[in-house]
Amino acid sequence: MELTNEFRVGLPVDKAWVVLTDLERIAPCMPGAELQEVEGDEYRGVVKVKVGPITAQYKGKANWVERDAAAHRAVARAEGRETRGQGNASATITATLTPDGDGTRVDVVTDLTITGRVASFGRGVLADVSAKLLQQFVDSLEADLSREGNDDPDVRLPPAAGAEAAGAASDAAPAVRRIESRPAQPVDLTEAAGPAVAKRVAPFVAGLFLLYWLVRRRRRRRG
The residue extents of the domains of the chain are 2-159+177-222
* Cα–Cα distance, 130 to 32 (Å, whole number): 12
Cβ contact 218:210 at 8 Å? no
Determine the average pLDDT of the residues in 177-192: 80
Adjacent-strand bridge partners of 77: 63, 92
Angle between helices 189-222 and 122-148 (to 10 degrees): 110
User: Which residues in 28-185 belong to E strands, given as ranges?
Assistant: 33-39, 42-51, 54-68, 73-82, 88-100, 103-114, 176-178
Q: Residue 92: phi, psi to the nearest 5?
A: -115, 120
Cβ contact 35:181 at 8 Å? yes
The confidence score (pLDDT) of residue 35 equals 92
User: Which of these ranges, 22-36, 83-97, 124-138, has the smallest mean pLDDT?
Assistant: 124-138
Exposed (0-12), middle (13-18) or buried (19+): which is 196, by Cβ within 10 Å? exposed
CATH topology of domain 2-159+177-222: Alpha-D-Glucose-1,6-Bisphosphate; Chain A, domain 4 (3.30.530)
* Cα–Cα distance, 83 to 176 (Å, whole number): 21
pLDDT at 137 exceeding the cut of 50? yes
Determine the average pLDDT of the residues in 15-23: 93
* Cα–Cα distance, 42 to 37 (Å, whole number): 9
Q: Say which residues have a Cβ less than 8 Å from residue 137's Cβ, sequence separation at least 6.
A: 26, 29, 30, 31
* Cα–Cα distance, 191 to 120 (Å, whole number): 16
The confidence score (pLDDT) of residue 148 equals 64
